[in-house]
Amino acid sequence: MKTTETDVLIIGAGPAGAIAAALLHREKFRVLVVEKQVFPRFVIGESMLPVSMNLLANAGLLDAVQRRQFMRKNGAVFLRGNETCNFDFSSQFTAGYNYTYQVPRADFDQTLADAVAARGVDVRYRHGVTAVNFDGPHATAGIEQPDGTALSVKARFILDCSGYGRVLPRLLQLEEPSTLPPRDSLFAHITGDVRPADREEGKIWICMHPDGAWLWIIPFSNGKTSVGAVAAPEFFQKFPGDPETQLRAILLGDPNAARRLAKLQFAMPVQRISGYSCSVKRLFGDKYALAGNATEFLDPIFSSGVALALASSECAAKVLIRQLRGEAVNWQVDYADHVMQGINTFRAYVSAWYDGRLPQIFFAPQRNPDIMRQVCSVLAGYVWDKSNPYVSQADRALMALTKVLGGLQRAAARKAASAGL
């Protein structure tokens, strides 16, 4: 069997893998990235958050992304019937980027992987990891090569950035069910989207469907638009037919989506993902760590996946660099706690979205601009800024705000009722 040696073996060349490769290579460590597929390849997860711009810049990868002229995303608009809540990233609590991009992931991921390879990182496509062993002084991985033969890689450390492949969680039995209820998603790229003008054009639209789903509309600079629906599995049973018929009926059944998408044409077969939320028992172990979607994936509602992938991978690379240099590191404190801070902040918002607190806040008749700036920074991905009370005490702050709004709404209803008497 062919064998090779490296300092760090990275499984997967998605955003998490590319960022870690760039950072480790910059510090002169030998990095081998193995990727099961051939790029460009389709993957869902196309709306970025402004915090990702900081992370790409830190890894020296932002210039390559900016050269692609992706659609500029200036914010997020939530719509429910005739109610709207329009977040603009220029109105934020946390100092940081006030825009980001909407990216077809085939192009975005290839841009990152090519930029990393151009710097000299060994990126091998059609190389799928099938086995790992952590006994002994080195980690070893068994890899299937394009011709079907096996390659054995000896590494000082393995970083699992395999996303939905979840290589180490599966091979090391680290998988844990998510605490979130199962949800499904139907999605596709389309043409025929009638977009708003100017700085509104690139904002993501999140539409609350009258029958109990939410929809995304993500416009790209290549003329196509990503559309999708997310709901409990039962929701989709109300829409008979093949996935294309189902998705069309769902999109046109929402008044706001229908305004933009009346003339939609599918530009790819409609895809379905079921029960996408997942978790793991731990984020690291002896000679390995997990980053990106190989850790925990919550829910797409706040487009947090790529931001969390980049942030966890950056953090893992920084801790690993110190470890490889012989410094004592504490993976729990320096890595897992940091990653969980981001995940848990988004978890509070995901829960508040589905239990109705966030829609109540977003569509309140009067919104406090200071609070909305703090919430906007969370939606921009600045979930490590503990000076923001809507980060440091996310759940408690959202709960308290909903109570106040509930009280105001009851008082307004009483006043209206007595005025009517």
Ligand X SMILES: Cc1cc2nc3c(=O)[nH]c(=O)nc-3n(C[C@H](O)[C@H](O)[C@H](O)COP(=O)(O)OP(=O)(O)OC[C@H]3O[C@@H](n4cnc5c(N)ncnc54)[C@H](O)[C@@H]3O)c2cc1C
Single out the residue of 45, 50, 169, 342 in contact with ligand X (rule: CB under 6 A).
45
- Residues linked to residue 228 through DSSP beta bridges, in sequence order: 187, 216
The reply on whether position 14 binds ligand X by CB under 6 A is yes
Tell me the closest approach of the beta carbon of residue 201 to ligand X, in angstroms: 17
The reply on whether position 36 binds ligand X by CB under 6 A is yes
Place of tokens 């969980």: 340
Q: State yes or no: cis peptide before 40, omega within 30 of 0.
A: yes
Please list the alpha-helical segments (H only) found in 262-336.
305-324
The reply on whether position 184 binds ligand X by CB under 6 A is no
Burial group, residue 273, by CB count within 10 angstroms (0-12, 13-18, 19+) = middle
Tell me the closest approach of the beta carbon of residue 369 to ligand X, in angstroms: 26
- Select the span of 37-45, 206-214, 231-239, 342-350 touching ligand X (CB under 6 A): 37-45
Q: Which residues of 189-202 are buried (b: 16+ CB within 10 A; e: fewer)?
A: bbeebeeeeeeeeb
- Per-residue binding string, ligand X, 143-162, x by CB under 6 A, is ------------------xx
C-alpha span between 365 and 335 (Å, rounded)? 41
The reply on whether position 75 binds ligand X by CB under 6 A is no
The footprint of ligand X on residues 287-316 (CB under 6 A) is 292-293, 297, 300, 303, 305-307, 309
- Select the span of 36-44, 68-76, 246-254, 366-374 touching ligand X (CB under 6 A): 36-44
Q: Are 398 and 352 in contact (CB under 8 A)?
A: yes
Tell me the closest approach of the beta carbon of residue 144 to ligand X, in angstroms: 8
What tokens does 204 get? 């993501």
- Select the span of 44-52, 60-68, 93-101, 246-254 touching ligand X (CB under 6 A): 44-52
What single letter denotes the amino acid at residue 158? I
Bin 388: left if φ > 0, else alpha if -120 < ψ < 50, else beta: beta
Q: Are 353 and 359 in contact (CB under 8 A)?
A: yes
| CB of 45 or CB of 359, closer to ligand X | 45
C-alpha span between 345 and 291 (Å, rounded)? 17
Query: Residue count at the site for ligand X (CB under 6 A)?
Result: 38
Single out the residue of 7, 27, 37, 98 in contact with ligand X (rule: CB under 6 A).
37
Half-sphere exposure of 190 (CA within 13 A, CB side): 27
C-alpha span between 409 and 1 (Å, rounded)? 70
Single out the residue of 9, 10, 16, 394 in contact with ligand X (rule: CB under 6 A).
16
Half-sphere exposure of 61 (CA within 13 A, CB side): 31
Dihedral sign from CA coordinates of 48, 179, 335, 169: negative
| CB of 106 or CB of 371, closer to ligand X | 106
The footprint of ligand X on residues 250-289 (CB under 6 A) is 273, 276
Tell me the closest approach of the beta carbon of residue 310 to ligand X, in angstroms: 8
- Per-residue binding string, ligand X, 325-364, x by CB under 6 A, is ----------------------------------------
The reply on whether position 50 binds ligand X by CB under 6 A is no
- Residues linked to residue 386 through DSSP beta bridges, in sequence order: none
The footprint of ligand X on residues 77-136 (CB under 6 A) is 128-129
Cα–Cα distances (Å) from 311 to 155, 177, 335, in that order, read 23, 23, 10
- Residues linked to residue 229 through DSSP beta bridges, in sequence order: 186, 215
Tell me the closest approach of the beta carbon of residue 85 to ligand X, in angstroms: 18
- Select the span of 43-51, 237-245, 338-346, 405-413 touching ligand X (CB under 6 A): 43-51
The reply on whether position 34 binds ligand X by CB under 6 A is yes
Binding site for ligand X (CB under 6 A): 11-17, 34-37, 43-48, 128-129, 161-165, 167, 185, 228, 273, 276, 292-293, 297, 300, 303, 305-307, 309
